[in-house]
Structure 1
Amino acid sequence: MATIGLDKLFYSKITEDADGNETYATPVSLAKAMSAELSVELAEATLYADDGAAEIVKEFQSGTLTLGIDDIGASVAGDLTGATIDKNHVLISTSEDGGTPVAIGFRAKKANGKYRYFWLYRVKFGIPATNLTTKGESIEFSTPSIEGTVLRRNKVDGLGKHPWKAEVSEDDTGVSATVIKNWYDDVYEPTYTTTGTTE
């Protein structure tokens, strides 16, 4: 179903243990969302046998997330890009900056009034783009955008796989109201039954 809105943009800082496994902090609001564009790159291979394609493998390699936001505050910019805030509360960006990955959560309103919820488990952002224009005869808003690379997370789920995205629509059959209610309390962790199917 088509979506007609976007809101509740959150991020969660990541800490990693010695093996690189992620632990997520309590999610906090990033900014007011204007747009989110997600593109995905797949690694693919085709095995040819008997003069034809015998097997085709397509796996997630990485993605690009471009966020259009109303504003990015100094502390959020620091968390996402590695910039620092000096003692005068001025945000300083240096050539050595390199932000640490974060998890990104948001929701999109569907045409039926229900929402589709997302968590991207590991996104590494670059420096926000700034567009400025002089004031003319009509009012024109200039807003920042920020682009990040979406990666799979290091920590495996209950099936021994490395998830990169969690997505659910609140009106899907079998979706617990608790999952939707608690979506922004923590970064969603996949749960499975012992047979490998979802609970």
Structure 2
Amino acid sequence: MATIGLDKLFYAPITEDENEEETYGTPVQLAKAISVELSVELAEAVLYADDGIAQIIKEFNSGTLTLGVDDIGLSAASELTGAEIDSNGVLVSTSEDDGKPVAVGFRAKKANGKYRYFWLYRVKFAVPATNLETKGESINFQTPSIEGTVMRRNKVDGKGRHPWKAEVSEDDSGVNTTTIGSWYKEVYEPAYTTEASNVSEEDA
């Protein structure tokens, strides 16, 4: 179903253990969302046999997330890009800055009034782009954008796989209201039935 709105843009800091497996912090609001663009790059392999295509494998490789926002506060900009806030409260960006990956969550309003929710599990951002212009006869809002690379997370889920995105619509059948209600309290962790996990283990 088509979407007609976008809001509740959040990010969650990531800490990693010695195996680089992620633990997510409490989500905090990043900014007021204007736009979200997500493009995905797939790794593709084609097997030819008997003068034809016998098998095609397409797997997620990486993605590019571009966020248009009303403003990026100092704290969020520092956490996302690695820039430092000095003793005078000034955000200083250097060539050595290297921001840590974060999880990014948002929701889109559908035409029927319900919402579709998203979490991207590992995104590494670059320095925000800034657009400025002098004021003319008409007023044009200039807003920042920030671009990040979307990656699969290192931590495996209950089926031994590496998620990169979680997505759900609140009016999908079988969706627990608790799942929607707690979407921004913590980064969503995939949950599988014991039967599904056992099947995965047998196949491995």
Alignment of 1:52-71 (within 5 A): 52-71=52-71
Question: What secondary structure, in the 3-state scheme, does the structure 2 residue paired with 1:168 have?
Answer: strand
Question: What secondary structure, in the 3-state scheme, does the structure 2 residue paired with 1:137 have?
Answer: coil
* Runs of 4 or more above 3 Å deviation: none
Alignment of 1:91-106 (within 5 A): 91-106=91-106
Counterpart residue number, 1:157: 157
Tell me, in whole angstroms, the C-alpha distance in 1 between the residues paired with 2:115 and 2:184: 14
Counterpart residue number, 1:16: 16
**What fraction of aligned residue pairs are identical, expressed as a percent?**
76
Unaligned runs of 5+ in 1: none
Deviation at 1:195, TM superposition (A): 2.2
Tell me, in whole angstroms, the C-alpha distance in 1 between the residues paired with 2:144 and 2:11: 17
Counterpart residue number, 1:167: 167
TM-score, normalised on structure 1? 0.98
RMSD: 0.6
Question: What secondary structure, in the 3-state scheme, does the structure 1 residue paired with 2:195 have?
Answer: coil
Q: For residue 155 of structure 2, what is the amino acid of its counterpart?
A: K
Tell me, in whole angstroms, the C-alpha distance in 2 between the residues paired with 1:87 and 1:36: 33
Q: For residue 31 of structure 1, what is the amino acid of its counterpart?
A: A
Counterpart residue number, 2:178: 178
Deviation string for 1:88-139 (max 9, x for gaps)?
0000000000100000000000000000000000000000000000000001
Tell me, in whole angstroms, the C-alpha distance in 1 between the residues paired with 2:81 and 2:195: 41
Counterpart residue number, 2:139: 139
Deviation at 1:196, TM superposition (A): 1.7
Q: For residue 153 of structure 2, what is the amino acid of its counterpart?
A: R
Tell me, in whole angstroms, the C-alpha distance in 2 between the residues paired with 1:66 and 1:5: 16
Alignment of 1:115-134 (within 5 A): 115-134=115-134
Alignment of 1:15-94 (within 5 A): 15-94=15-94
Question: What secondary structure, in the 3-state scheme, does the structure 2 residue paired with 1:195 have?
Answer: helix
Counterpart residue number, 2:200: none
Q: For residue 4 of structure 2, what is the amino acid of its counterpart?
A: I
Tell me, in whole angstroms, the C-alpha distance in 2 between the residues paired with 1:107 and 1:98: 28
Q: For residue 119 of structure 2, what is the amino acid of its counterpart?
A: W
Deviation string for 1:130-167 (max 9, x for gaps)?
00000000011010000000000000000000000000
Deviation at 1:46, TM superposition (A): 0.4
Deviation string for 1:39-75 (max 9, x for gaps)?
0000000000111111100000000000000000111
TM-score, normalised on structure 2? 0.96
Tell me, in whole angstroms, the C-alpha distance in 1 between the residues paired with 2:169 and 2:73: 30
Tell me, in whole angstroms, the C-alpha distance in 2 between the residues paired with 1:155 and 1:133: 44
Question: What secondary structure, in the 3-state scheme, does the structure 2 residue paired with 1:196 have?
Answer: helix
Tell me, in whole angstroms, the C-alpha distance in 2 between the residues paired with 1:170 and 1:157: 22
Counterpart residue number, 2:202: none
